[in-house]
Amino acid sequence: MKIVADENIPFVKQAFEKLGEVVTYPGRHINSAAVKESDILLVRSITRVDEPLLRGSKIRFVATATIGCDHIDIDYLKKESIQFASAAGCNANSVAEYLAAALLILARRHGFSLSEKTIGVVGVGNVGSRVVEKAGILNMNTLQNDPPLSRKTGELHFRPIEEILKQSDIITLHVPLTYEGQDATYHMVNDSFLEKMKKGSFLINTSRGAVVDNPALLMSFRQNKLKGAVLDVWEGEPEINEELLRAVELGTPHIAGYSLDGKTNATILIYRAVCHFLKVPCDWQLPELPSPPCPKIEVDDSGENDEKILAEVVKKAYDLERDDKALREVLEIPQSQRQIFFDQLRSKYPVRREFNSIEVNVKGANQELSQKLKALGFRQR
């Protein structure tokens, strides 16, 4: 059996080598020739899996080590009786931690307390529900919008999008990219959406780039409607709008879910899916992950407010501003090299561990602060 895989799926050879011959490629180099004689295909979000890629191949099973599936032609797979699996939920906590870091940075830069702000969470699935939890820990007022989930559950805490836009100081998007139906999300954030947002508010997008009409967002900045935006995903990536990158508060290269923990969760999920498909035992064990760059954090509660200390701890655990700085280097290189540079920022992304791998000791910490640190995921002595 031959297995073709994206080389950036962690431990992919170790996990799958007992199941067959594993051949890896950069995600954008997986083409019809590469998969023609293969049985199983393992991809990430940058590989488009559709009829042009798979026609005439031996592929019987496709798995994506991502939560999103907009790069997969599900209908074609069904038509050809090709089985499919995704890694739903694998990096939900990673994205939620990214959001916590971004929110604390916005509060520090603009001199406000998160406890004074309302955040509107649009899309409350695996990721959005974690974001709601993290925002609550940071004492934010949260509003939730998820029309499909609202219809399914009938729960009253889901609010109409118009109410969310009118009342929220920060809007954060956690929806799949879909093009059809009453809940289509392609260019969901358009001129009308942005016009309805509270003046001076912030937009955060860690879902998919095309959920936001990037030219419309840029125009909203020109017209001083929004205070700022945090973008981890970009319409047309790996090519991104230079003017928009200069305009946003924080910009990163589609790495919100790129904690090593999240990526290895994905490997485990697709490995189990392949084993189930092949009807063989799942006997591969994940090796011990490397320690985080900062395994222990010591801070002093010297009369500072809790939010400031949380911001200090989170920055030491995950320096989101470093990722922002790295992406902005794209502005200093020739246009012809920028797409390659964007991909390299992702493929060579440094080890980032989640908060639960880090021990925090706050000297003199009050009980409430200790509880917040624990709730965010940090270990304590």
Domain annotation covers residue 284: no
Q: Give the model confidence (pLDDT) of 309-336 as tens digits.
A: 999 999 999 999 999 999 999 999 999 9
- What average pLDDT does range 46-55 have in this prediction? 95
Q: What pLDDT does residue 304 have?
A: 73
| Residue 305: pLDDT band with limits 50, 70, 90 | confident
Cα Rg of the chain (Å, integer): 21
Q: What pLDDT does residue 223 have?
A: 92
- Which amino acid type is present at position 179? Y
Q: What is the CATH number of the domain that holds 376?
A: 3.30.1370
Per-residue pLDDT for 54 more than 90? Answer: yes
Per-residue pLDDT for 365 more than 80? Answer: no
Q: Is the dihedral of CA 331, 336, 337, 338 positive or negative?
A: positive
Domain annotation covers residue 290: no
Q: Give the model confidence (pLDDT) of 234-281 as tens digits.
A: 999 999 999 999 999 999 999 999 999 999 999 999 999 999 999 999
Instruction: Please tell me which residue in 187, 254, 352, 353 is annotated as part of the active site.
Output: 254
Are 215 and 108 members of one domain? yes
Are 234 and 100 members of one domain? yes
Q: What is the mean pLDDT of the chain?
A: 95
Going from the C-alpha of 9 to that of each of 85, 217, 347, the distances in angstroms are 15, 32, 10
Are 134 and 75 members of one domain? no
Q: What pLDDT does residue 281 have?
A: 95
Are 238 and 367 members of one domain? no
Segments in the chain forming alpha helices (H): 12-16, 32-35, 51-54, 74-79, 92-110, 126-137, 147-153, 161-167, 191-196, 214-222, 242-247, 260-278, 306-317, 320-328, 338-347, 367-376
Q: What pLDDT does residue 381 have?
A: 75
Are 195 and 130 members of one domain? yes
Are 98 and 49 members of one domain? no
Per-residue pLDDT for 157 more than 80? Answer: yes
CA angle 103, 193, 240 (to 5 degrees): 65
The total of structural domains in the chain comes to 3
| Residue 156: pLDDT band with limits 50, 70, 90 | confident
Domain range holding 237? 92-251
Instruction: Please tell me which residue in 237, 249, 307, 354 is annotated as part of the active site.
Output: 237
Are 82 and 103 members of one domain? no
The pTM (predicted TM-score) of the whole model is: 0.93
CA separation for the pair 62, 59 (Å, rounded): 7
- What average pLDDT does range 96-117 have in this prediction? 97
Q: What is the CATH number of the domain that holds 195?
A: 3.40.50.720
Per-residue pLDDT for 94 more than 80? Answer: yes
Higher pLDDT, 163 or 303: 163
Are 213 and 132 members of one domain? yes
Are 25 and 129 members of one domain? no
Are 123 and 69 members of one domain? no
Per-residue pLDDT for 299 more than 90? Answer: no
Q: What pLDDT does residue 113 have?
A: 97
Are 116 and 69 members of one domain? no
CA separation for the pair 150, 86 (Å, rounded): 24
User: Between β-strands 61-64 and 40-43, what pairing exists: parallel, antiparallel or unpaired?
Assistant: parallel
**In this structure, what DSSP letter does residue 17 have?**
T
The torsion angles phi and psi of 328, rounded to 5 degrees, stand at: -65, -15
Domain annotation covers residue 14: yes
Domain annotation covers residue 19: yes
CA atoms within 13 A on the CB side of 106: 29
The torsion angles phi and psi of 335, rounded to 5 degrees, stand at: -55, -40
Higher pLDDT, 42 or 302: 42
Tokens at 122, concatenated: 């649009």
Q: Which residues contact 182 (CB under 8 A, 6 or more apart)?
A: 147
| Residue 149: pLDDT band with limits 50, 70, 90 | very high
Are 109 and 52 members of one domain? no
Domain annotation covers residue 229: yes
CA separation for the pair 298, 338 (Å, rounded): 39
Known catalytic membership, residue 254: yes
| Residue 205: pLDDT band with limits 50, 70, 90 | very high
Domain annotation covers residue 309: yes
Domain annotation covers residue 349: yes
Domain annotation covers residue 287: no
Instruction: For the chain, give the percent of residues with pLDDT over 70.
Output: 99
Instruction: Please tell me which residue in 44, 130, 187, 208 is annotated as part of the active site.
Output: 208
